[in-house]
Amino acid sequence: MEKEQQVSMEKLISLCKRRGFVFSGSEIYGGLANAWDFGPLGVALKNNIKQLWWRFFVESRDDMYGLDAALLINRKVWQASGHEATFSDPLVECKKCHSRFRADELLEKYFKENPQVVHESISADLLKLDRDVKSFNISCPSCGVTDWGVPKQFNLMLKTFLGPVEDDANMVYFRPETAQAMFVDFKHILNTFSPKLPFGIAQIGKAFRNEITPGNFIFRTREFEQMEIEYFIKKDNWQEQFEGWLSEMKKWMAFIGLPEDRIHYLEVPDGERAHYSQRTVDIEFDFPFGKKELYGLAYRGNFDLQSHQDASGQSMEYFDEETKEKFIPHVIEPSLGVERTVLALLTGAYREDEQNGEVRAYLDLNMQVAPYKAAVFPLLANKPDLVTKAQEVRKAIQGAGMTFLPVAFDKGGNIGKRYRKQDEIGTPYCFTVDFQTLEDDTITVRERNSATQERIKVSEARKFIEEKMRGDL
């Protein structure tokens, strides 16, 4: 397979399940629609992404403040932020089979499948959506009948109740974005750290949305994780700050190894942006199912802080000691999804080539994100000397404490099978302990992509991996 070619979703989902990246949720009970569980390698990949993001955007900067806010938040927050009134998608129902769809997505799919059809851009306006779905005679993807109800706005926030009484007074929403807590806690950060503008608050955590049409594996789910920053600025230089953050996001994507030629930037036009945004750039990625949003960058003005000030009666103002002015800061928001990063990395890294007359699949993940940095094998599983030596080598490469590196150990099956397994999970280097190792303390190391081998001293194996890791920084 050429580098540019896309892996099919079937192949990728099968690899994810077979190798322990992602399992379908609640499977022994017939599953739960679009719920996915991350297995050992999926957790490792996700953790690497989140730790790298935290280091890249938070720890390595002096202008960033971390937060881990409660997931259940006072309902008044969502009323003030506008989510209760406007965080919705246009839902249309088939009158025959009662399947529900997003009206804009039905049109998007229809126009994609019928490129000859002349049409205007898809509107967010319900009346226009109604007219288009009906005038283009779109049939129901579930039952094939063309008989639609009138589209209506469907709020995406998931509800639950706090305490034993299930009434309106006890109803709360699961947060649909991590962002709001960073606005609500803005004053705490000002009061405890006295930061000077510009500065940011950063958070990683779960978000929930009752998506009408979840799907495409882990791309659109009802429960997912976000890595978000609210970067507070003075209004005057928002354009410059926006461009600066776009460039930081580009550096991040290069850092984790996303292929540049699959990344696109979409300036979201007026009328299609979220209710709070004055400018949004969607960072899109060529997934196997098409070009879709990977991340978003938005200029939210001072919409959120102003709304919370108005609704709570608490001042959200910042005092500028230089100019002696008080004002509500504006904000730039880089917003990144963890699962979409996983999916982009996996699809971007999937390769196939031919090794010894057989098709081989491997993940070209860089050292920073790969679940295991290396693997160690004894050449034969039934030779105790080789197994003991291989365990010692593994420990030496792993190290301990803060410098620990995850290193796999495998003595099952033949060596070819072990290589194929490590290739498929993206392990960059495999070390094999053989009979020569017992004589001269050297070891073979095989590089994943080229499958070429060299011999190095056992005492240099850890340094070898450390240097390769530095090379990927």
* Residue placing its CB nearer to ligand GAP in the complex, 180 or 427: 180
Q: Which residue has the tokens 């300036």?
A: 267
Token reading at 92? 């249309």
> Which of the 8 DSSP states describes residue 148?
B
Token reading at 204? 């990683």
**Contact call for residues 92 and 133 (beta carbons, < 8 A):** yes
83, 187, 330, 340: which one contacts ligand GAP (CB under 6 A)?
340
**DSSP reduced 3-state for 155:** strand
**Contact call for residues 363 and 420 (beta carbons, < 8 A):** no
Number of Cβ within a 10 Å radius of residue 299:
22
Helices and strands (H and E) in the chain: how many: 15, 23
**Contact call for residues 363 and 449 (beta carbons, < 8 A):** no
CB of 324 to ligand GAP, least distance (A): 33
Q: If binding is defined by CB under 6 A, does position 177 make contact with ligand GAP?
A: yes
Residue nearest to ligand GAP (CB): 337
Q: If binding is defined by CB under 6 A, does position 205 make contact with ligand GAP?
A: no
**H or E element: which one contains 280?**
strand 279-287
104, 130, 132, 228: which one contacts ligand GAP (CB under 6 A)?
228
* Residue placing its CB nearer to ligand GAP in the complex, 130 or 177: 177
CA angle at residue 220 from 214 to 222, to 5 degrees? 70
Beta strands 429-433 and 442-447: pairing type?
A: antiparallel
CB of 58 to ligand GAP, least distance (A): 17
> Which of the 8 DSSP states describes residue 215?
B
| x/- track of binding to ligand GAP for residues 245-284 (CB under 6 A) | ----------------------------------------
**DSSP reduced 3-state for 370:** coil
Residues 6+ apart with CB under 8 A from 62: none
Residues contacting ligand GAP: total by CB under 6 A: 18
34, 221, 241, 442: which one contacts ligand GAP (CB under 6 A)?
221
Among the residue ranges 184-192, 292-300, 324-332, 372-380, the one whose residues contact ligand GAP (CB under 6 A): 292-300
Instruction: Report H helices in 55-92.
Output: 75-80, 83-86
48, 155, 309, 335: which one contacts ligand GAP (CB under 6 A)?
335
Q: If binding is defined by CB under 6 A, does position 307 make contact with ligand GAP?
A: no
Among the residue ranges 28-36, 122-130, 288-296, 369-377, the one whose residues contact ligand GAP (CB under 6 A): 288-296
Token reading at 125? 């306006």
* Residue placing its CB nearer to ligand GAP in the complex, 211 or 410: 211
Q: Which residues inside 84-113 make contact with ligand GAP, applying CB under 6 A?
A: none
57, 173, 224, 232: which one contacts ligand GAP (CB under 6 A)?
224
Q: If binding is defined by CB under 6 A, does position 339 make contact with ligand GAP?
A: yes
**Which positions lie near ligand GAP, rule CB under 6 A?**
177, 179, 209, 211, 220-221, 224, 226, 228, 293, 295-296, 333, 335-337, 339-340
